[in-house]
Structure 1
Amino acid sequence: MGRYQPPLTLTPAMLTLIAEISEQIGRLSAGESRKQTPQLRRGNRIRTIQASLAIENNTLSIQQVTAVLAGKRVLGLPREIQEVRNAFAAYEAMSEWQPNSRAHLLTAHQMLMGGLIDDSGRFRQAGVGIYRGDKLVHMAPPPSRVAHLVEELLAWLGSSDWHPLIISCVFHYEFEFIHPFADGNGRMGRLWQTLILSQWRPVLAYLPVESVIRDQQDAYYGALSAADQLAEATPFVEFMLQALRLALQEAARSELLTDQVTDQVTDQVAKLLGALDGATPLKVNDLMTELGLAHKATFRANYLKPALVSGLIEMTDPDSPRSPIQRYRLTPHGQNVAAALRSA
């Protein structure tokens, strides 16, 4: 009996994407030692976790996830807070695992799903169908076949001579097809693809490709369905390669931002961003107290207005600028700048 080989058609689009991604990784790796500070890596990991869990309907925001991991009290469902803690522990332990190890795969699932389901760290014992709304989109293999199918897939993963980018995408698809666990298969597939890629190029351990998947969730599920219908991973591999390319483009932009941001942002605005970073929206008086300021006109002229004009912060109630309950929060751009300032 020959070794298992997942069915795949190599397409010109895949080859083009591999070439583009490899070039992007080369540029990113060249600046990695200077740019990838612990703060920037942690910021990217938080984005990864928040996005991967959001795909599974976790409602916590970037700021809330940041606060949970800083040990702060967060108003949220206990299950969602547990999911964040579990995911962070799993991604932090990732460098200790071998992708083709069954024991490591089960350990990772135990970390991701511990306290959330009864059989964390164990293969499922029941049949499972995957639904989108009321429609059955995938009937996973019966539980009696799960262990054997996973062993075959891990053996292929350990011996394949395909390009690591292709291997990681194919594994992700085949893992979702088998659906080996009662719950947590999506986040496990994304974690394991990151693990495979990080062993090829360490800079990819902190690439938040999950953010791209979250923003293109319908296309992600559509690619899984298209691959099921074709009985090969090809459509899913093309989707994931495009997602990786986009995530690398965004990473390059954020690095450019890190280089430029200290020149563009005044000390006063930087302090304001620091006061709002990871915090709930704050009123003017609360911000002034946080910054140790007493003169409102100076605060508005030197801190608040420049940050608003630059699109770094926004009002919670923009239709009533002078509302007595008006608060201010970071925009997504402001969050990126705040992260860049932390790591500069």
Structure 2
Amino acid sequence: MPYQPPFTLSAKVIHLVSSISEALGEINQEHLQSSPQLRKQNRIKTIAGTLAIEGNTLSLEQVTAIVDGKSVLGEPKEIAEVHGAIAAYEKLTEWDASSEADFLAAHGLLMREILSDAGKFRNKSVGIHKGKQVVHIAPPAGRVPHLVADLFDWAKTSDQHPLIISSVVHYELEFIHPFMDGNGRIGRLWQTLLLGQWKPIFFLLPLESVIKDRQQAYYDALEKADDVTDSLPFIEFILDAIDSVLQENRQNIAADSDQVSDQVKILLATLTEDYLSVPEMMELLSLTHRTSFRKNYLNPTLALGLIEMRYPESPRSPKQKYRKTTLPR
């Protein structure tokens, strides 16, 4: 008999699926894809969020610097976690959510600088602790490959809505706990992959950041689903998070479109990926009034995240230069 994960549905789930579907129909995906500000901001939020859930203390600014290829001061393990997340999310669109080989490869990238057995299923028993209390004992290590294969087969053949399938897979991966470490990260990554293969816009949205903002509720939903042997509490939580990230980005896209003035567009059309000083930019635009240039051109473009500083740690540096914001690849 084919494997069937234990879950039920509720009126709240149906309502959330409807709300998410409506929001997806209203979001301008083309604008989100073409906006340097939103794409880069969302990618960094995704990476910082998924790592912060696991206790990584690097700030959003530090993660931004690492994404930009700059050196930062911090714990080597935490910096390595950022490198792993960058590598994994860069490859996300190339993987098949039903492939065990891709699943292992994704974990290998996420944890390559942290675990000696990155990309390999665990070979030991594990339990999840809350203080001194064991709140979850994962299935025996010998069953892990079969459980993952059964789960992926179910996800590939199920006639449930993709929003529900991705949420169930996320929960079940946390329940199975297939690796010695990195299970939360891979679970969130794999739900994003399933969602993105359904609607590519999900590759551009920072779901992990919203989960981070609701971290305790995330843990509570996982624990409650364990207690009732039904992933419904987790499905409701994660669908509510997806709905929130869509509503937030719908507002951001509208604001981004409204706020791009003619002066901002002119400045962006002039700049390249090479750094330029204020005098150099003004010369290119045939402008002579520095205060007016800063007020009408430079500052609004900076505020939208469309250009970046060469020395962000010293905004008023006399050596300061600017260039178009570079996107994570």
TM (normalized to structure 2)? 0.83
Bigger RCO of structures 1 and 2 (CA < 8 A, at least 6 apart): 2
Shift of residue 134 of structure 1? 2.3
Shift of residue 131 of structure 1? 1.3
Matching residue's letter, 2:18: A
Mapping for residues 183-198 of structure 1, pairs under 5 Å: 183-198=181-196
**Aligned match of 1:317:** none
What is the number of equivalent residue pairs in this alignment?
291
Q: Residue 124 and residue 19 in structure 1: after superposition, are their counterparts in 2 closer, same or farther (change >3 A)? A: same
1:155 corresponds, among 139, 153, 167, to 153
**Aligned match of 2:80:** 82
1:270 corresponds, among 300, 310, 315, to 300
Cα shift readout 1:100-124 (whole Å, capped 9, x = no counterpart): 1111111111111112011111100
Q: Is contact 2:196-2:202 (8 Å) kept?
A: yes
**Aligned match of 1:19:** 18
CA–CA separation in structure 2 for the residues paired with 1:137 and 1:208: 28
Matching residue's letter, 1:248: L
Q: Is contact 2:309-2:315 (8 Å) kept?
A: no
Cα shift readout 1:31-60 (whole Å, capped 9, x = no counterpart): 212342262323211110110001011111
Shift of residue 141 of structure 1? 0.8
**Aligned match of 2:93:** 95
CA–CA separation in structure 2 for the residues paired with 1:34 and 1:94: 21
Mapping for residues 50-69 of structure 1, pairs under 5 Å: 50-69=48-67
CA RMSD of aligned residues (A): 2.3
Secondary structure of 1:122 counterpart: coil
Q: Residue 283 and residue 15 in structure 1: after superposition, are their counterparts in 2 closer, same or farther (change >3 A)? A: closer
Mapping for residues 1-344 of structure 1, pairs under 5 Å: 2-28=1-27, 31-37=28-34, 39=36, 40-263=38-261, 266-270=296-300, 273=303, 280-282=312-314, 284=316, 286=317, 289-290=319-320
Q: Residue 228 and residue 125 in structure 1: after superposition, are their counterparts in 2 closer, same or farther (change >3 A)? A: same
Secondary structure of 2:320 counterpart: helix
Shift of residue 176 of structure 1? 0.3
Matching residue's letter, 2:243: R
CA–CA separation in structure 1 for the residues paired with 2:185 and 2:173: 11
**Aligned match of 1:295:** none
Shift of residue 271 of structure 1? 6.0
Of the structure 1 ranges 78-87 and 183-192, higher mean CA displacement relative to structure 2 is found in 78-87
Secondary structure of 1:6 counterpart: coil
CA–CA separation in structure 2 for the residues paired with 1:251 and 1:47: 12
Secondary structure of 1:290 counterpart: coil
Q: Residue 242 and residue 120 in structure 1: after superposition, are their counterparts in 2 closer, same or farther (change >3 A)? A: same
Matching residue's letter, 2:151: L
Q: Residue 266 and residue 79 in structure 1: after superposition, are their counterparts in 2 closer, same or farther (change >3 A)? A: same
Cα shift readout 1:299-329 (whole Å, capped 9, x = no counterpart): xxxxxxxxxxxxxxxxxxxxxxxxxxxxxxx
Matching residue's letter, 1:266: N
Secondary structure of 2:175 counterpart: helix
**Aligned match of 1:333:** none
Matching residue's letter, 1:270: P
Q: Residue 35 and residue 214 in structure 1: after superposition, are their counterparts in 2 closer, same or farther (change >3 A)? A: closer
Structure 1: gaps spanning 5 or more residues: 293-337
Shift of residue 82 of structure 1? 1.3
Q: Residue 242 and residue 279 in structure 1: after superposition, are their counterparts in 2 closer, same or farther (change >3 A)? A: farther
CA–CA separation in structure 2 for the residues paired with 1:228 and 1:278: 49
Q: Residue 9 and residue 114 in structure 1: after superposition, are their counterparts in 2 closer, same or farther (change >3 A)? A: same
Q: Residue 207 and residue 268 in structure 1: after superposition, are their counterparts in 2 closer, same or farther (change >3 A)? A: closer
CA–CA separation in structure 2 for the residues paired with 1:244 and 1:278: 35
Of the structure 1 ranges 145-154 and 48-57, higher mean CA displacement relative to structure 2 is found in 145-154
Q: Is contact 1:276-1:282 (8 Å) kept?
A: no
Q: Is contact 1:64-1:278 (8 Å) kept?
A: no
Cα shift readout 1:237-256 (whole Å, capped 9, x = no counterpart): 00000000011111112112
**Aligned match of 1:328:** none
Secondary structure of 2:134 counterpart: strand
CA–CA separation in structure 1 for the residues paired with 2:26 and 2:309: 29
Shift of residue 268 of structure 1? 4.0
Q: Is contact 2:97-2:194 (8 Å) kept?
A: yes
Q: Is contact 1:166-1:237 (8 Å) kept?
A: yes
CA–CA separation in structure 2 for the residues paired with 1:8 and 1:278: 51
Shift of residue 78 of structure 1? 1.4
Q: Is contact 1:169-1:193 (8 Å) kept?
A: yes
CA–CA separation in structure 2 for the residues paired with 1:59 and 1:21: 31
Q: Percent identity between the aligned chains?
A: 46
TM (normalized to structure 1)? 0.79
